[in-house]
Structure 1
Amino acid sequence: MIARLLLFLSCSAAMALDDFRPMVTEAITKGEKKIVIPAGTYRLAPVGGEKCVWSLHDLKDLEIIADGVTLISTKLTRALAIDACSGVTLRGLTVDYDPLPFTQGTVTAVAEDKSWIDVKLHAGYPRQPYSRIDVVDPATRYRKKGMPFLWGTKAELHGDDTVRVTLKGIGNTATVGTLASLNTGPATDGIPHALSIEHCSSLTLRGVTIHSAPGMGILECDGDGKTAYLGCRVVPGPIPDGASEARLLSTSWDAMQTKTVRHGPRVEDCEIREAGDDSWSVQSADFMVLKATGNTLVIACRDEYTIGVESSDRLKTRIGGPEATITARRGLSRAGATLDADVLAKLKDAPQWSEWKVSPKCLEVTLDQALPVKPGDSLYSPDRMGNGFAFLNNRIHSSGRVLIKAAGRIEGNILDTPHALVVCPELPDKAAAGIDGLVIRKNTIRRSGWFCAAPWSAQAGALSITAAGDAQQLRPPGVFANLVIENNTFEDCSGPNLAITSARGVKVSGNHFIRPHHDKPDGTGGSYGIASNAVIWTTQCEDVEMKDNPITEPGPFCGEQVVEKKP
């Protein structure tokens, strides 16, 4: 079979194949288990009213070799969707977009009151007034040191090649000569993300490259998980035709994200550069109890885009607390859930990011035993967090976070000038959360804490393990348990190098803090009382062991080096 397929492929290549999708579909229909796509650049768009350029659905034990293959989507929508597949391997594919989902240029004018800037667009980049902006240092071609959050910008095209970006105070950072990237999401009739993996099990992406994306580069959600990302790259693509300036950006949003899978991924030997938001994250959410009748609950997930939990998943309120297993589930609307009037009223009036702000989609779940919960209580599922992930030997030069909401292993990575490595459930004060058994070992974090000050956030520190509560309070011990932080190297980081709260059972050993606090800290964490001039700062923790953590050449902004505040 493979021989016949290779003969077919060689004939296709000889005929200058301009669309590989029919060939792949035919090979799948014939039952082939190894498909080799001829090398080349394919400019493709969705067909037949679809919103995705290429889809792989309900496949099992299939290998697709796409070495030397570049798929250029000619529409700002999803390039590849892999859905309900198991045991599938994809090797070598590169994804890019034309038109690009971003543009870039140089700041040529600043308002006297700093309320707007003019960005003259570089030749060869889209003439579009995209408003999601990053300010870039022309010397480093990287996010400008000290850049604030630039939320709420407005952009409009002035003439043929200039975008005016308006936001109070933007000219304080975006001075004349500064570079800027301006990006967007999908087209109005498209969907975001370059590559999606949904409801899958045991997939392998080997040597897959994402050069740009109208949204995230790779999004994996729901399903059994166990995905392996081996030697994958999310990096800026080549200089566009007609351009002389290299790209400033890869993806518009996160480079890679995994959420609500049963088993976390293995991400190894990957490279991430210049993403528009977080570099990599493993995400989860809690479930609000809306109705409780014996061992039957009606629940709603805080994340409205996920299917929630499945049969055989567990639910619990806290680490070490009682848990029950789902034996049956069905989806229903709020109207069909016959909720009490007071519950409906709280849901209806819930502000954004508040305790009662949950998905309008409900789940009725039957448990193997009753849990001591009532409407308004929160549950989490240790089987929908991506627990067991491994993030190993990856190289990151991107200004967003590595964001962790699960237990697993982070080892051997280099994070060069990131916002931070953050471990945080990012949930309201009373929401259930539990991260038990996270290991962070032999990583190098360089030059963190240089931009996007956030005094209102508890996510302070080059390595920040924190859980915020209401009224600028930090949550008590028990959100995190059994943490191991050992043999990591922190170099030239500003602000706290290591901040830990809300944990029980922490081992911090063999870490080396080199030249901390040579730059003035930006005050992130200030509203929670996190000391910006400490090297190591902990509070609301129990059973903490610290040993052999040398601090070398502390700078002039360093105060008390190690601060341990008792709960």
Structure 2
Amino acid sequence: MKPLSRRRVLTLASSFLTTPLMSGAGRAQPASASGATTFEMTNFLTAGVDADAAFAKALAAIAKVANDAAKSGGPVHIALNLGKNTTYRISHPLAFKALHDFELNGNGARLINTSREASMTISGSSRVTIRDLTIDYDPLPFTQGTITTFDKTATQITVKVDAGYPDDPALLASITDGFFKVMDRGTKALKVGARDFVSATKVQRISDGVIKVQLGWSANDRFPSQLPIAVGDCVTICGSGSHAIQVDSSQATSLIDVRLLASPGMGILENGGAGSMMLQKVSVVPGPRPKGATADRLVSTNSDGSHFITVERGPTMDDCTFANTSDDAVNVHGFYYYVVQKSGPRRYLLTPKWDIGLAAGDQIESCDRATSRSLGRTRIEQLTKSHAPNLKGQIAALWKNKSPTTQPDLIYDVVLQQDLPLKVGDSITSLSRIGAGTTIRRSSFHACGRVLIKGTNALVEDCQFTYSSGVALQAGSDIGFWSESGFAENLVFRNNRFTHSIAGANEMTAGNDAIGTIYIGMTCPAGAKGFQNNLQNRNVTIEGNHINDSNIYAIFVANADGVKIIGNSIGQTFLRGTAYDAGQFYGLKPNSSILIGKSRNADINNNTAASGKVTKAAVTVDASCEKATVRVANNRLT
């Protein structure tokens, strides 16, 4: 059987479009007493000038003002006002580079991207604000339809494309490692019992509105919790491409009242830098039906809704809405860097997955290869980079059974402030570039993958999760396949509401370690089983949440030191009437709504849970816990 799940390999862009200075830029309003300069898009979009050319002129004028201000020794606030409710059809991204105190005021405008490429890039900037703007794609970067036939191996699927949705050669040729998902048109979510996805490796047009999809493995190569595909099933087919909004090495970017209705890749991607992105009333949701369509869109983004990689400070999201992201709705993480060799006292050679996310001065956490427990914390005194072709074999061996490094001979030569007992294959991660302080409040997530936080000092509060395809809310390390750090520390999940979580079948398989609507734990290295011998998730609070109609455990916590699970209200769990193979990874036979394993210093009290065919207890404390330090009181099964 093929691997049960995997995510698109991230494309970390390191270059952006640059806009040449052009003559004839539109008129800027005189600078106010505060030094602000405002441009009106109507002055650039003159007769005979298309939107791409107009934006190029506007961005050139903005760059000149910014450069002049920098030469004068200080920043200036610059604003670009788009036409009220105006639609701009673009084929190139709006590229904002090295801007500080800049605001794009959309005034209700729409950017319609006709190229299936990025729509906006922000790089090397600070305090850039984008507000009151809608971004959509025409033609759409995905398609959907109904299964009409499939071969006996269920690897070649014929699909009648929904009216109004694309089947053009350019789109089909781009789907070489994409998502193929069976959906429920009623819930606009993954069909309950469907595989989380199957890889689409080739798509070809058979006739007008009819396509054949080649799958990477059989859709009916099933495990017990998976339902077979059938003629008449609704499916979505996505490729993996450019990200709609990409932010690189920037600080304090703000997205306010931004509506993203489609993306060829991730919706919002932030790579490196100081971070501290603010999202207020941002919507990443499927747009309206395309022209001629009779069915609603079932996809918003072709991969993650939002993704934050090795930023110093994580995002703050308030009153946001995510729906139908093909993968995670939110993912905040750093990376692990594996020890190739110790080359001297306090000195180690490391292999990175990407050339990003570690620098001199960073505080680091170490991780033992065998147990994933900490080997100590210190700081990096020096870091130099070099290529070492002679070490490629050793580097490749360290990435075996993981998503491979993109830097097969790149070495980080680091000197630590204090020596640590690190051996070959052990790892370190930066605690300075891990998205600390991520905060998500009053936001909703429908038919998405996970909200996944691997940074410290995180809060998710007063949010709503409906029909999540897998785990709804997750924290903790992925030191397994993706090498994404780190463990949860000072984490609060409070007053959130969940219903119909874990629609997909994958979480209920024997090899799955993430098996709760709320899951705190770790994704283990290949070959590992059971609770790993560490207590790396620290100071975790799960309080006042309402969890109804989950297809698996409501709350599952592992590898934690300092846990509070208090005052949660839980309705039905294991809604499909059986746990299937869930829990076998840990040697568990599920019988409760809440489970805690390999933990200590825990307080589990005043939780209520509904009984059911599987659920016969409110709480289970696994034998791997230090039971003398675990207090369980006043929990009630109803």
What is the TM-score normalised by the length of structure 1?
Answer: 0.89
Q: Does the alignment pair 1:491 with 2:548? A: yes
Partner of 2:629: none
CA distance in 2, matches of 1:43, 1:355: 37
**Equivalent residue, structure 2, for 1:163:** 211
Alpha-carbon RMSD: 2.7
SS at match of 1:22: helix
Gap change, CA 1:436 and 1:113, over 3 Å in 2: closer
State the shift of 1:170 in Å.
4.3
The partner residue of 1:346 within 383, 394, 397 is 394
**1:205: Cα distance to partner?**
1.1
Distance 1:529 1:183 in 2: 36
1:460 lines up with 2:507 in the alignment: no
Which residue is equivalent to 1:325?
A: 379
The one of 281, 290, 310 equivalent to 2:340 is 290
What is the distance in 2 between the residues matched to 1:410 and 1:263? 15
Tell me, yes or no, if the aligned pair for 1:150 and 1:170 is still in contact at 8 Å: no
2:425 is the counterpart of 1:379: no
For residues 259 and 120 of structure 1, the distance between their equivalents in structure 2, rounded to whole angstroms, comes to 38
CA shift at 1:411, angstroms?
Answer: 0.8
Q: Is the 8 A contact 2:161 2:209 kept in 1?
A: yes
Work out the CA distance in 2 between the residues paired with 1:44 and 1:78: 10
- Contact 1:517–1:533 (CA under 8 A) maintained in structure 2: no
Give unpaired runs (5+ residues) of structure 2.
1-27, 32-36, 67-76, 222-226, 368-372, 625-638
Distance in 1 separating the partners of 2:412 and 2:39: 51
1:480 is matched with which residue: 529, 532, 537?
A: 537
Cα deviations by residue, 1:409-438 (Å, 9 ceiling, x for unpaired):
111110111122122311139x88543211
Equivalent residue letter for 1:233:
S
Question: Are the counterparts in 2 of residues 90 and 204 from structure 1 also a CA contact under 8 Å?
Answer: yes
Selected match of 1:178 from 222, 233, 257: 233
Question: What is the CA-CA distance between 1:17 and the residue it aligns to?
Answer: 6.5
**C-alpha displacement of 1:492:** 1.0
1:208 is paired with a residue of what secondary structure?
strand
Deviations 1:143-178 (A, max 9, x none): 111101443445332222212234524496432332
Matched, 1:38 2:83: yes
- Distance change (3 Å), C-alpha of 1:72 and 1:532: farther
The 1:422/1:274 distance shift into structure 2, 3 A limit, reads same
Report how far residue 525 of structure 1 moved. Answer: 3.9
Change (3 A) 1:328 1:242: same
- 1:374–1:495 CA distance, 2 compared to 1 (3 A): closer
Q: 1:122 to 1:532 in 2, by over 3 A?
A: same
Deviation at 1:349, TM superposition (A): 3.9
Q: CA distance change for structure 1 residues 195 and 10 in 2, over 3 Å: closer, same or farther?
A: closer
- 8 Å contact from structure 2 (residues 595, 621) kept in 1: yes
Other-structure match for 2:56: 21
- Supply the distance in 1 between the matched residues of 2:44 and 2:441 (Cα, whole angstroms): 39
Q: Which residue of 2 aligns with 1:119?
A: 159
Q: Deviations over 1:504-525 (max 9, x none)?
A: 1111101111223342335344
Aligned to 1:546: 604
Alignment of 1:112-261 (within 5 A): 114-128=154-168, 129=172, 130=175, 132-154=179-201, 155-167=203-215, 168-170=218-220, 173-186=228-241, 192-261=242-311
Residues 323/8 of structure 1: CA separation in 2 closer, same or farther (3 Å cut): closer
CA distance in 2, matches of 1:433, 1:68: 39
2:475 and 2:488 in contact (8 A); partners too: no
Give the percent of matched residue pairs that are identical in Structure 1 and Structure 2: 25
| Matched AA of 1:333 | H
Contact between 1:116 and 1:170, CA under 8 Å: does it hold in 2? no
Distance 1:250 1:327, change over 3 A: same
2:498 corresponding residue in structure 1? 445
Q: Secondary structure at the match of 2:126?
A: coil
Partner of residue 311 from structure 1, selected from 317, 337, 360: 360
Unaligned runs of 5+ in 1: 47-52, 187-191
What code does the residue aligned with 2:208 have?
D
Matched, 1:70 2:110: yes
Moved more, 115-124 or 321-330: 321-330
Closer, same or farther: CA 247–546 of 1 in aligned 2, 3 Å: same
Contact 1:117/1:170 (<8 A) preserved: no
8 A Cα contact 1:236 1:247, kept in partner: yes
Partner in structure 2 of residue 50 of structure 1? none
Letter in 1 for 2:90: L
Match of 1:422 in 2: 474
**2:585 aligned residue:** 527
Number of corresponding residues? 547
The match for 1:517 among 567, 570, 574 is 574
Paired amino acid for 1:296:
R
- Structure 1 residues 358 and 529, CA gap change in structure 2 (3 angstroms): farther
8 Å contact 1:495–1:523 — kept in the other structure? no
1:54 to 58, 77, 94: 94
Deviates more, 1:151-160 or 1:377-386: 151-160
CA separation in 1, counterparts of 2:534 and 2:382? 33
One-letter code of the match for 1:403? Answer: L
Q: Secondary structure at the match of 1:223?
A: coil
Measured in 2, the distance between the counterparts of 1:8 and 1:143 equals 44
- The TM-score normalised by the length of structure 2 is 0.80
- Alpha-carbon contact 2:535-2:598 (below 8 Å) kept: no
Q: Which residue of 2 aligns with 1:536?
A: 594
- Secondary structure at the aligned position of 1:277 is classed as coil
Distance in 1 (CA, whole Å) between partners of 2:463 and 2:576 is 24
Deviates more, 1:256-265 or 1:283-292: 283-292
CA contact under 8 A between 1:325 and 1:368: conserved in structure 2?
A: yes
Q: Quick one: structure 1 residues 354 and 217, their matched pair in 2 at CA, closer, same or farther if it must change by over 3 Å?
A: closer
The aligned residue for residue 189 of structure 1 is none
CA contact (8 A) 1:138 1:178 kept: no
SS in 1 for 2:193: coil
